Structure 1
Amino acid sequence: MLNYYPNFSRFPCLSPMSQQLMSSGPSLKKLNGNGASHPKTATSKPAIISLVSCIVLIISAYFSVDPRSLNAASDTYALCSRNGDNVYTVDAQNSRTQCIVVQGALIADRGSLQHVTNRWNSFSLYKVIFRRPSLDIRFIRPGAIIVPGLSDSHAHILEYGAAQQLPLEGTKNIQDTVARVRDFILANPDVYNDTSKFIVGGGWDHTIWPTTGWPTSAHLEDDPVIRGRPVVLQSKDCHALWASAKAIEASMPFPEAVDGGIIVRDKTGKPTGVLLDNAQELLKQPELTEGDLQRRFRVAVRDAHAFGLTSIHDAGLDPASLAFFKRQAETGTLPLRIYGMTFFDENKAYWGNTTTPIIGAGNGRLTARSVKIFADGALRTGGAALYEPYADNPSTNGFMRLDSDILFDVIPKFLRDGWQVNVHAIGDRANGIVLDAFEASLKGVNVTASRPRLEHAQIMTDADMKRLGRLGVIASVQPTHAISDMWYAQDRLGPERIKGLYAFRSLIDSGARITLGSDFPVEAMNPLSGFYAAVTRVSPDGKSPHGPDGWFPEQRITRQEALRGMTIDPAYASFTETTLGSLEIGKRADYVVLSQDIMTVPANEILATKVLFTALDGQAIYEDI
């Protein structure tokens, strides 16, 4: 409902003539010079009596209104900028406006301050009867803007919470990382006093360390505080685990080889303490308690709200994570929108026809209607499947994490049974194989109804980029990966192949629809970091291997494309574009107030932008006070 004017169609006693009189103004008739009725406005006495009687009925009807609908009126407010159209609606026309009107959980109106004031503060019988106050108008601070609630199209919620307990991002070498683990133990008496307690951390990045090769269990055992404790440390890209001797011993024996994974061994064949890709699953760890999950979730939600995120696509829910989110939704306590990708285990029976997708549980805040399949590993750890060998390691061209026959078998089955299919693919060979499987599976399928996604789409040939656009497969990309990987990528791929890495402009120009994410905790959660990376292709300090204009600057995207990539495009990629992703009438009132205009400020000032206010369903979930 957009206003509180009576619905006259409910009252048949109102003839067309009396309805016209009601809407024409306060004067019911005009007299000519001799006191006779004017022919155009003459109304008989019985008609007037009938009209008055009908008004009495209307008043009586309104006095019987459900009181809950009156309470809803108090949830109505306008949010405006004092000067200029500082509301970016992200509608089809990319229009801007001065105000939005929020009514309950929905956007009820938008327009200029004069428009919403005239429309919502105008005289009506309803307001007179119920003494409804004037519209509550709230103004944002000068220079601030309003955008739709921000979305991350590819992230890992509970894994982020885990990584924040012992963050290893930015350590300069192995010894620095070991020292951080030791300091964590010493700072937490419950951990220090229990040598059997598993210590979990994440974020180490061997590509920025001066030494070559992998860390080992021995590096952890060299520290007397850590020695003998079970320690499991996840790499920055989440494709490698570095474990202590105690953690490794508890998981033995290991098989000689692992399909789609690597057990790093020394010259004698003994595991050194690092497990890559599918081999990570060999490491036995205690099951997480409900308390563990709650702590991780609270940390992730707290930071998401502060960064303006109202919706997150969780890329790979294992059964325990999915069950946890379902429990949260059942109790009605989900504090953000979660679009879950259910984890696919190729070693288990096909489940797409026996499992019911979750759509809009928990007041519309939990959906799990897609499946996440891993095709290959990661570039950082050398597991991305390439057509040609790695330039810095000619002995390998990476590996597929599952047999390609599985893709051709299960993708059409999932599509047939109503599931969205999202496939992780990094290397050019992996992307090519996945597109082969999509092309075969999409014959006769309504791609708009199924909306398959290529998660990462990092290295692609020109031909495959064009094929991606032709097939209508969504490219789910992470711009902050580009400015992280640009420092080592050419050494790994060589000067020619690297041109197809993170080629966002080429993807869009090929006709592909892209949607932006961060892959947190692999990268920072802040969506404005992704916005900045996408439009500049330089590091936060303004540098790149190709200078201040950006790394392959021709692959930059526009600010408008970047804003859509974190609002309406994620909504489309999660089948919610009719209710989320833009500030349009009838959609959910998810919005963010930013301290400055990211669409116009100099590029080097984008990262100084602060989130002032985050709203979900029209209600504040974060406020910078």
Structure 2
Amino acid sequence: MVVSDSHIMDTGSLEDIKSRWGILNASSSPLHIRYIKDGSIVLPGLSDSHAHILEYGASRQLSLEGGKTIKDTVALVKRYILENADVQKDRSRVIEGWGWDHTSWPVEQWPHMDDFEKDPIVRGRSIILQSKDGHALWISPHVLNTSLPFPNEVEGGVIVRDEFRNPTGVLLDNAQELIQKPPLTEDDLLKRFAATVKDALANGLTSVHDAGLNPLSLAFFKRQVAAGNMPIRIYGMTFFEENGPYWGNLSKPIIGASNGRFSARSVKIFADGALRSGGAALFEPYHDNPETNGFMRLDPAVLYDVIPRFLSDGWQVNVHAIGDRANSIVLDAFESTLKNVNVTALRPRLEHAQILTEADMARVGKLGVIASIQPTHAISDMWYAEDRLGPERVKGLYAFRSLINHGARLALGSDFPVEDMNPLSGFYSAVTRLSFDGRSPHGTAGWFPDQRLTRQEALRGMTIDAAYASFTDSEVGSLVPGKRADYVVLSQDIMTVPVGQILDTKVFATAIDGRPVFGEI
């Protein structure tokens, strides 16, 4: 591969390159030739099609994923307090953490605000802990008391209450907005951004699709563009606020700012909640909780209203949809809009597309809607999914092969910090449907092994199809002359090594615009 400045000029065998470029010997070469290590491989720069950049940086401050019980999780908060002298001394300091997962605890139950009060170090502090899936908050009594009064109900959300109707300190989906978090300083934001970029480049990521830029995040990234501080490609989805004014005709999409490294040309809309927290909107009640079938986070009429307007105003529309009912409603709205338009020019996306009926899988392919999926969600959820959905409905969950067979284009991501940032974790999950230690509820062949992707399909979802989903497929996503030289050097060929060795792969180097930004060549 011949790279000049930021672009790929030529590819081929070394002999062909030497012939075309008039290289007779090393001393006469107009090129500086570099060799990669034996056994290693060069791939297009990898993309994460659904992630949360500043939230990941925040999650690195106090990670709760090691908490295997409620008591363990509180102990992690205690350790954080004791390891940070400024936090320990200032009892008014708000403590934020990320990653608790009640579905992984021995007894699957919601935590309670009083659990914080059992430890004298933790007691009485302001604590706000985000769940692993981002759809629930667990707060301390002090935070709850300063947030009261709560409404009786929250549309598109739940205030978890005890048998006496008192709040327990857990808030789901839209109810999370009842809690006011402390304002972030510019230094806070810069630290979060730097932490995410450092890890992303070390994992071979050259492009990240940020799935929900709120006004604060969007303004921050605009400032980084103006300051020339854009060390990785970011494709932003601007957050849609149901109760705010329609802004699709008031602001223009940002396309290719900072020399092609920043775009914000799509809108992110939430249709429903999450499966893990029981907020995904289903046609039929949950198998393990027949009293509910989840909920929509907004009225379907809103989707029918704003989707056509955003599309007509030149915005890509990306809708978070988990449950089969939510996905069907979103597809109805897309179908009513896309009849007489150029779908390739609009490239609408279903973010997650987790549970679909067979008929709706066919509609995804027919309509040309992109399915933005996260394979590591499948191996996280497979341990409880059948209990939650039942033996028949669960067959439509994370049905990647069925979507492909119906003609859908898949863009792969991780939803970090919800799951591991490493794109090879997603690659491995997509082609094996096994946990990282080789297990599944269906044995070593994988969970619903007929839904596995091929390695080529998985790689496309992390490269050229991810680029298509962000309108950058003419610039990046494959290693061909004329495209930008975004590439990653891996220690071994993930397309041929035994699947059990995929996760042993190391990133030797990551390059953006022809320049190494991690490692060396």
- TM-score over 0.5 for the alignment? yes
| 1:113 equivalent among 14, 31, 37 | 14
Structure 2 counterparts to residues 533-548 of structure 1, below 5 A: 533-548=429-444
Q: How does 1:484-495 map to 2 (within 5 A)?
A: 484-495=380-391
- Residue 268 of structure 1 and its aligned partner are, at CA, apart by 2.0
Alignment RMSD = 1.2
Q: Deviations over 1:356-391 (max 9, x none)?
A: 111111111110000000000000000000000000
Distance 1:251 1:158 in 2: 24
Q: Distance in 2 between matches of 1:361 and 1:182?
A: 43
Aligned 8 A contact 1:453 1:476 in 2: yes
- Within the candidate set 517, 523, 526, 2:413 is matched to 517
SS for the counterpart of 2:21 is: helix
Q: Using the TM superposition, give the Cα deviation of residue 586 of structure 1 relative to its aligned residue in structure 2, in angstroms.
A: 0.8
Do residues 581 (structure 1) and 477 (structure 2) align?
Answer: yes
> What does residue range 51-200 of structure 1 map to in structure 2 within 5 Å?
100-122=1-23, 134-200=30-96
- Separation in 2 of the partners of 1:325 and 1:204? 28
In structure 2, the partner of 1:457 is 353
Please show how residues 35-46 of structure 1 align to structure 2 within 5 Å. Answer: none
Amino acid at match of 1:603: V
CA distance in 1, matches of 2:108, 2:427: 32
For the pair 1:478 / 2:374, whether they are aligned, the reply is: yes
Residue of structure 1 equivalent to 2:287: 391
**Other structure's SS at 1:393 match:** coil
The letter for the 1-side match of 2:20 is R
Aligned 1:189-268 pairs, distance under 5 A: 189-268=85-164
Instruction: Name the CA distance, whole Å, in 1 between partners of 2:148 and 2:519.
Output: 49
Q: Would the aligned equivalents of 1:331 and 1:362 in 2 still touch at CA under 8 Å?
A: no
Which residue identity lines up with residue 117 of structure 1 in the other structure? K
In the alignment, is residue 429 of structure 1 matched against residue 330 of structure 2? no
2:240 is matched with: 344
The yes-or-no answer on 1:282 pairing with 2:178 is yes
Q: Deviations over 1:565-591 (max 9, x none)?
A: 000001000001000100010101000
- How much does 1:624 deviate? 6.7
Letter in 1 for 2:17: V
Contact between 1:478 and 1:516, CA under 8 Å: does it hold in 2? yes
Question: How many Å separate the matches in 1 of 2:66 and 2:441?
Answer: 20
SS in 2 for 1:547: coil
Residue aligned with 1:159, SS: helix
Unaligned runs of 5+ in 1: 1-99, 124-130
Total equivalences in the alignment = 519
Q: Residue 118 of structure 1: CA displacement?
A: 2.5
Q: Which residue does the alignment assign to 2:497?
A: 601
Relative CO higher for 1 or 2, CA cutoff 8 Å, sep ≥ 6? 2
Which residue identity is paired with 1:497?
R
Letter of the aligned partner of 2:16 in structure 1? H
Using the alignment, how far apart are the partners of 1:237 and 1:483 within structure 2?
A: 14
SS at match of 1:340: strand
Match of 1:623 in 2: 519
Within-5 A mapping of 1:394-433? 394-433=290-329
Partner of 1:297 in structure 2? 193
Query: Is the Cα contact below 8 Å between 1:234 and 1:242 reproduced in 2?
Result: yes
Residue 604 of structure 1 aligns to a residue whose secondary structure is helix
User: Per-residue displacement from partner, 1:337-356 (whole Å, max 9, x unpaired)?
Assistant: 00000000000111100011
- The SS at the match of 1:599 is coil
The TM-score with structure 1 as length reference comes to 0.82
Deviation of 1:197 (Å)? 0.9
Q: 2-side partners of 1:602 and 1:349: how far apart?
A: 53
Find the aligned partners of 2:3 and 2:359 in 1 and give their Cα distance: 46
What secondary structure sits across from 2:175 in the alignment? Answer: helix
Q: How much does 1:133 deviate? A: 5.8
Match runs of 1:301-312 below 5 Å? 301-312=197-208
**Alpha-carbon distance, 1:132 to partner:** 8.7
Q: State which of 314, 338, 353 in structure 1 corresponds to 2:210.
A: 314
Deviations 1:492-548 (A, max 9, x none): 000000000000000000011111000000000000000000000000110000000
- How much has 1:287 moved relative to structure 2? 0.9
TM-score, normalization: structure 2? 0.98
Partner of 2:428: 532
Q: Is the 8 A contact 1:121 1:135 kept in 2?
A: no
Give the C-alpha shift of residue 212 in structure 1: 3.2
Shift of 1:250: 1.9
Between 328-337 and 243-252, the greater mean CA deviation after superposition:
243-252
Kept in 2, the 8 Å contact 1:538–1:550? The answer is yes
Q: CA deviation at 1:120?
A: 2.5
Q: Retained in 2: the 8 A contact 1:569–1:581?
A: yes
Please say if residues 411 and 461 of structure 2, whose CA atoms lie closer than 8 Å, have aligned partners that are also in contact. Answer: yes
Separation of aligned partners in 2, 1:108 and 1:252:
62
Paired letter, 1:469:
G
Other-structure match for 1:55 = none
- Partner in structure 2 of residue 89 of structure 1: none
Give 1:327's aligned residue: 223
Task: State whether residues 117 and 135 of structure 1, in contact with CA within 8 Å, keep that contact through their aligned partners in structure 2.
Answer: no
Deviation at 1:122, TM superposition (A): 4.2
Tell me by how many angstroms 1:119 deviates.
2.5
How far apart are residue 213 of structure 1 and its match?
A: 2.0
**CA displacement, residues 570-615 of structure 1 (integer Å, 9 cap, x when unaligned):** 1000001000100010101000000000000000000000000000
Deviations 1:432-460 (A, max 9, x none): 11101110111211100000000000000
Contact kept in structure 1, 2:41 and 2:493, CA below 8 Å: yes
Amino acid at match of 2:263: T
CA distance in 1, matches of 2:126, 2:28: 64
Q: Deviations over 1:282-307 (max 9, x none)?
A: 10111111011011111100100000
Query: By how many angstroms is 1:210 displaced?
Result: 1.2
Distance 1:174 1:614 in 2: 39
C-alpha distance in structure 2 between counterparts of 1:543 and 1:597, whole Å: 23
- SS at 2:48's partner residue? strand
Paired with 2:407 and 2:493, the residues of 1 have a C-alpha distance of 28
Hey, what's the Cα distance between the residues in 1 that align with 2:102 and 2:114? 16
Contact kept in structure 2, 1:611 and 1:624, CA below 8 Å: no
Find the aligned partners of 2:493 and 2:139 in 1 and give their Cα distance: 45
Asked if the contact 2:23–2:29 (Cα under 8 Å) also holds between the matched residues in 1, the reply is: no
**1:57 aligns to what?**
none
Aligned-residue sequence identity (percent) comes to 68
Asked if residue 443 in structure 1 is aligned to residue 443 in structure 2, the reply is: no
* SS at 2:168 equivalent: strand
> Contact between 2:204 and 2:510, CA under 8 Å: does it hold in 1?
yes
Distance in 2 (CA, whole Å) between partners of 1:134 and 1:122 is: 7
Query: Quick check: 1:611 aligned with 2:512?
Result: no
